[in-house]
Structure 1
Amino acid sequence: MTYEETLAHIYALRRFGIRPGLDRVSSLLARLGNLHASLRIIHVAGTNGKGSTAAFLSSILAAGGYRTGLFTSPHLISFTERFRINGAEIGRDEVLRLAQRVMAAAPEGTTFFELVTALALLHFAGEGVDVAILEAGMGGGHDATNVAAGILTIITPVALDHGEWLGETVPAIAREKGGIIKAGRPVVLAEQLPEAAEVLVQRSKALGCRLCRFDTDFTARWHGERLAYRGLHRSLEGVRPGIGGRYQRVNAACALAAAELLATEGFPLTDEALRRGIADARWPGRMELFPGPPPVLLDGAHNPAGAGALAEALADFPRRRLILVTGIMGDKDAEGILSPLLPLADEVVTVTPAVERGLAADRLAAFCRERGAAAIDGGAVPQGLELARQRAGSDDLVLVTGSLFTVGEARAALLAAPYEPFRG
């Protein structure tokens, strides 16, 4: 098989849909020799901020001299983005080699995400990483990443999302997300809604975990463009995050608290490693600015909580006008996502992401116009982005958001890079 044929086979597993549970992935890994059992795993679960938090912590560990694996999803442009070691993506030849092994061992009915998780664990074990950070998919307890035993868990803010799978209330979603917490292992808990915090605190206590909570045991505050971190045992002044957005203070603080806790797990880190790791962290498609003119800001906010944080962060971006380019999945809460953003937009260009679940641009434009926005149908993402750039003045800001799929397509267009549209 070629690389392209292999990816086509892997993507075809999406026909099995989302099937929560660990039996299939456990069986698959057993057939592969349970090589992942030797890995030191850090789990990152939650609704918003998982990727940024994982990227911050991965950068800190790499700055400290540790060989660090990072598994995230979905990718923005290329499948290889999902698997990184010290920031470097897996090579295509390695994907091809490992995928052949994993596909040959996969039980009938193995899902896309289960196979990709197994591929990540096999890659990290084969490369002998010191530690591997796994971003959970949409869940926690029943997420394929939970097949691996962890040494530490980070739970980022929990909010309503994926209700058809995780539950229709915040406590129900928190119970599923919290299922990834391991008995006796430390837990870093980000800022949470009270009803989510109650569930997660109770589970941590019931399992005898050391619990470290944002704004109780550690915190971070902005002083101009830099953060002041007050941690479990350390304080750091003048920390400048490499990932943009005011809301990153919580994600950066959680990564720093986790780094402090890792000293007891055999990963001591200096203050310089903490500072440099936060500063060197990058997370494409999240408050990522392309200078222009006109400047284009990419952010993957795809639920109401993420959109609200984005709306607040826009205060740091001076502009004459804001032109919003948005494409949303048909099964997402369009009202909740766009409500914080439409009042800030002078013009709206709607687009259709190149995935099956993408909401048609003409329907989204009508939706926006019904809410008083000056919206036009921009068609496909690259065409809509180009239209917005043409309509923008040099001192206007073009914002692309609504879905990571939309952002990925836009980013590929801005970089003139090949785009792999099929995701999981």
Structure 2
Amino acid sequence: MPASQQLSRLFGRRRFNIKPGLERITALLERHGHPERSFAAIHVVGTNGKGSTAAFLAAIIEQAGYCTGLFTSPHLVSYTERFRVNGVDCPPEQLEALIPDLLEQAGPDDTFFELTTALACHWFARNKVQLAVLEAGMGGRSDATAAVAGIATIISPIALDHCQWLGNDLQSIAAEKVAIARPGSPVISAVQPPDVQAVIEEYCRTNNNRLLLAGRDFNATSNGADTGLTFTGSSGSLSGLHPSLSGSYQTGNAALALAAAEQLATLGFPISQQAMQAGLATARWPGRLERLRLADGSELLLDGAHNPAGAQALAAALQELGKRRIILLLGMMEDKDLQGVLQPLLQRVQQVITVSPAQERALPATELAARCRTAGTPATAADSVAAGLEAARAAAGPGDLIVAAGSLFLVGELKALLAGVPCEAVRG
């Protein structure tokens, strides 16, 4: 069967949507001989910054000399991006070869993300991965990645998102996220709202987890662009750190990864300061404040901001750029907090061009443009992502910046368009 048909069979499992619970994924891993038991895993949960933090930590572990796996979602352009070993995406032909056996072993109701998680475990086991960094899909205790026992858990900043599955308040969401942590294992948390921190602290007390809190047990501070960051943690201070990822908010994500690296030393995986420095400097995580120079000379900034916290971080990054005219190419999904995303972003932009990414749940571009105009910002709708990019380029003058945001699906579609390759867009 051609490769594209194999992927189509797997992507067809999206019809089962999201089904919290570990019964199906646990049974699937058991039928595959428990590949997840062949490596040690670090879980990364939270709302914003999960992917960047996971990318930083995986790069640090790799620089320390361990065979390193990284599992993330969603992908931007190619499904193979979700599975990295030592920084290299899984080769498409090898991934395709694994899918038939995976589907033969699958239960009738196994979801797309469950099968994808099992595929990651199988690929990591085959490549003799020693340490794997696993980004949760959206939750915690009920996320498919929770079927893999973790030796440590990182919690990035928690905010309201995926409320229909995780709960309508921060405490409920925090309780779901932190519960992925295995009792007795270390938990490394970003600065959280007081009610979220209280939930995390209570879980850790009850389950004998050592809790390390940003701002209390570790911290990273910026010394300016030339001198980089200084990190202070349980094993002392480390200066001259230069994260490869842009944005002042990456300071907090880098600190989480460094604090987790320190904990790995207590768990039998020592990591040198040189590996920490090199890992931060070499980490890659496309589509988050990613700057591109287009063929006509215009500048494009890609960012997957799709919830209020992400939009606020993007708005802060745009403010740091100084007074530039900004054209926003905006595409969003209909289940997102539209007002919460628009409010911070529209304060920083002068013109909006709206698009509908090629997704079933994409918000119509015309409706999105109308909402922007109601908020007082000039906006026009484009017929497609390609047409929207052309309109933005036509509107951009010398020194102007085009910013594409609102959905990782938009970012992925744009990256594929610019590269001239198909976009394997899929949620989950």
TM range (shorter): over 0.9
Query: In the alignment, which residue of structure 2 is the partner of 1:235?
Result: 237
Query: In the alignment, which residue of structure 1 is the partner of 2:321?
Result: 317
Instruction: Say whether the 8 Å CA contact 1:319–1:395 is kept in structure 2.
Output: no
What is the alpha-carbon distance in structure 1 between the residues aligned to residue 81 and residue 398 of structure 2?
A: 32
Within-5 A mapping of 1:110-259: 110-225=110-225, 226-259=228-261
What is the alpha-carbon distance in structure 1 between the residues aligned to residue 7 and residue 196 of structure 2?
A: 37
C-alpha distance after superposition, 1:134-166 (max 9, x if no partner): 100110000000001111100111100011100
Asked whether 1:327 is paired with 2:331, we answer yes
Asked whether 1:350 is paired with 2:350, we answer no
What is the alpha-carbon distance in structure 2 between the residues aligned to residue 223 and residue 414 of structure 1?
A: 36
Query: In the alignment, which residue of structure 2 is the partner of 1:265?
Result: 267
Gaps of 5+ in 1: none
- SS of 2:134 mapped into structure 1: strand
What is the alpha-carbon distance in structure 2 between the residues aligned to residue 320 and residue 24 of structure 1?
A: 51
Asked whether 1:284 is paired with 2:292, we answer no
Instruction: Say whether the 8 Å CA contact 2:38–2:128 is kept in structure 1.
Output: no
What is the alpha-carbon distance in structure 1 between the residues aligned to residue 420 and residue 321 of structure 2?
A: 25
Query: In the alignment, which residue of structure 1 is the partner of 2:10?
Result: 10
Provide the alpha-carbon RMSD of the alignment. Answer: 1.0
* CA deviation after TM superposition for structure 1 residue 196, in Å: 1.0
Instruction: Say whether the 8 Å CA contact 2:265–2:271 is kept in structure 1.
Output: yes
* CA deviation after TM superposition for structure 1 residue 416, in Å: 2.6
Query: In the alignment, which residue of structure 2 is the partner of 1:87?
Result: 87
- SS of 2:355 mapped into structure 1: strand
Gaps of 5+ in 2: none
Instruction: Say whether the 8 Å CA contact 2:157–2:192 is kept in structure 1.
Output: yes
Query: In the alignment, which residue of structure 1 is the partner of 2:419?
Result: 415
* CA deviation after TM superposition for structure 1 residue 414, in Å: 2.5
* CA deviation after TM superposition for structure 1 residue 417, in Å: 2.9
Query: In the alignment, which residue of structure 2 is the partner of 1:340?
Result: 344
- SS of 2:142 mapped into structure 1: coil
Aligned residue among 382, 392, 395 for 2:396: 392
* CA deviation after TM superposition for structure 1 residue 93, in Å: 1.6
Q: Aligned AA for 2:4? A: E
What is the alpha-carbon distance in structure 1 between the residues aligned to residue 30 and residue 217 of structure 2?
A: 39
What is the alpha-carbon distance in structure 2 between the residues aligned to residue 150 and residue 117 of structure 1?
A: 14
* CA deviation after TM superposition for structure 1 residue 319, in Å: 5.1
What is the alpha-carbon distance in structure 2 between the residues aligned to residue 372 and residue 64 of structure 1?
A: 51
Instruction: Say whether the 8 Å CA contact 1:289–1:296 is kept in structure 2.
Output: yes
* CA deviation after TM superposition for structure 1 residue 197, in Å: 1.0
What is the alpha-carbon distance in structure 2 between the residues aligned to residue 416 and residue 216 of structure 1?
A: 47
C-alpha distance after superposition, 1:47-86 (max 9, x if no partner): 0000000000000011111110000000000000000011
Deviates further, 314-323 or 332-341: 314-323
Instruction: Say whether the 8 Å CA contact 1:319–1:396 is kept in structure 2.
Output: no
C-alpha distance after superposition, 1:288-343 (max 9, x if no partner): 01134221111111100111111111123245300001100001111001100001
* CA deviation after TM superposition for structure 1 residue 362, in Å: 0.6
Q: Aligned AA for 2:2? A: T
TM-score by length of structure 2 reads 0.97
What is the alpha-carbon distance in structure 2 between the residues aligned to residue 241 and residue 35 of structure 1?
A: 33
Aligned residue among 367, 374, 390 for 1:370: 374
C-alpha distance after superposition, 1:360-398 (max 9, x if no partner): 101100010011010010222122112101210130111
Instruction: Say whether the 8 Å CA contact 2:318–2:348 is kept in structure 1.
Output: no
Q: Aligned AA for 1:275? A: Q
- SS of 1:325 mapped into structure 2: strand
Instruction: Say whether the 8 Å CA contact 1:246–1:313 is kept in structure 2.
Output: yes
Instruction: Say whether the 8 Å CA contact 1:326–1:401 is kept in structure 2.
Output: yes
User: How many residue pairs align between the two structures?
Assistant: 424
What is the alpha-carbon distance in structure 1 between the residues aligned to residue 102 and residue 146 of structure 2?
A: 18
* CA deviation after TM superposition for structure 1 residue 421, in Å: 2.2
What is the alpha-carbon distance in structure 2 between the residues aligned to residue 77 and residue 350 of structure 1?
A: 21
Instruction: Say whether the 8 Å CA contact 2:74–2:426 is kept in structure 1.
Output: no
Identity over aligned pairs, percent: 50
* CA deviation after TM superposition for structure 1 residue 418, in Å: 2.4
Query: In the alignment, which residue of structure 2 is the partner of 1:383?
Result: 387
* CA deviation after TM superposition for structure 1 residue 347, in Å: 0.5
What is the alpha-carbon distance in structure 2 between the residues aligned to residue 4 and residue 68 of structure 1?
A: 28
Q: Aligned AA for 1:213? A: L
What is the alpha-carbon distance in structure 2 between the residues aligned to residue 414 and residue 197 of structure 1?
A: 42
